[in-house]
């Protein structure tokens, strides 16, 4: 495949990622864990959200009424991370191709 075609394909993929990023809703980093007040008997369950932000570790207790919403926010954050990681990978590949095309013209 010609380099210009590859450049266009990668650019189109990056544009698609940009569109997908615009659909991301509220997000929170971290993971949700179920804990028990009595772990031996598995009684008195509650949930915690553990995350690191600005190099500090945080733990938030999540009420059952807010659990589903928090799970959705954590899921959105994971989607955000996947999309931006893919964008970075494509951008590196695009940059290398552009340099290759530029070098071949010299």
What are 3-60's pLDDT values in tens digits? 889 999 999 999 999 999 999 999 999 999 999 999 999 999 999 999 999 999 999 9
Would you place residue 101 in the very low, low, confident or very high pLDDT band (cuts 50, 70, 90)?
confident
- Over 90: is that where the pLDDT of 1 sits? no
Measured CA to CA in angstroms, residue 36 lies from 50, 57, 64, 70 at distances of 16, 21, 14, 19
What pLDDT, on the 0 to 100 scale, is given for residue 103? 80
Task: List the structure tokens of 90.
Answer: 């494509």
Spell out the residues 6+ positions from residue 44 whose beta carbon is closer than 8 angstroms to its own: 36, 37, 38
Cα 97 to chain center, whole Å? 26
The domain locations on the chain are 3-105
d(CA 14, CA 19): 9
């Amino acid at each position: 495949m010609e380099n210009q075609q590859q450049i266009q394909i990668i650019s189109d993929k990056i544009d698609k990622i940009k569109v997908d990023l615009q659909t991301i809703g509220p997000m929170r980093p971290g993971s949700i864990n179920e804990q028990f007040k009595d772990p031996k008997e598995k009684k008195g369950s509650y949930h915690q959200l553990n995350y690191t932000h600005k190099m500090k570790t945080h733990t938030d207790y999540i009420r059952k009424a807010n659990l589903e919403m928090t799970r959705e926010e954590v899921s959105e954050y994971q989607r955000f991370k996947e999309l931006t990681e893919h964008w970075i990978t494509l951008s590196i590949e695009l940059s290398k191709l552009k340099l290759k095309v530029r070098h071949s013209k010299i």
